[in-house]
Amino acid sequence: MFEYIKGTVSEIIVDKIILEVNGMGYRINSSINSTSNTRVGDATTIFTHLAVKEDEISLYGFISRQELNMFKLLMTVSKIGPRVATAVLSTYTPEKLATYIRKNDVMAISKCPGVGKKTAERVVLELKDKVEDYGIDVNTGVTVIDDGNGDLQEATEALLSLGYNRLEAEKALKAVYKDGSNSGELIRRALGWLSK
């Protein structure tokens, strides 16, 4: 129902972000990874999922579309609902989790709150073929570098919106990345690389 919400962060409560939009505050359940990378007063976009139960309606959201996609992927596994999926993403980034899934690391996944050995085995079994879109190098588990200022993330999102999949976008950005590049330069160079 809500793909994303843009607003100003008015409060952060451990695993919740209060996002103010036009005088209304949305309480968004989130991962600790997302809340720790957000500050009060930031203007931000939260990518969201509306969870509806017969007795409760909850909004879940994350600072990157990649984290939201992994959240939705986790919920396709039986016995994993939005709370457990959020707890898993509070423990590991989507990239790290995808690496553990690809390497069949049931022990690492079972360390997440609410995930026992059997559930971790189901996560590996059911998601191993589905984590290809997370830009994980099969041999090394390395993902695209993080520039720390959001330009790389912005460039990735722009390439995704142009129809490239995450793996193509991140490979292109990894190939053309130079320190100090802004998102516009990265997008231009990546498009040139992709057209070769």
Domains of the chain: 4-62 (2.40.50.140), 65-134 (1.10.150.20), 151-194 (1.10.8.10)
Q: Give the angle 153-59-56 at the CA atoms, nearest 5°.
A: 160
**Sign of the dihedral through C-alpha 153, 159, 160, 166:** negative
Mind listing the pLDDT tens digit of every residue in the chain (196 residues)?
688 999 999 999 989 999 999 999 999 999 999 999 899 999 999 999 999 988 889 999 999 888 999 999 999 998 899 999 999 999 999 989 998 998 999 999 999 999 999 999 999 999 988 886 555 444 434 444 555 557 787 888 888 888 887 778 878 888 888 766 788 888 998 898 888 7
The pTM for the full model equals 0.68
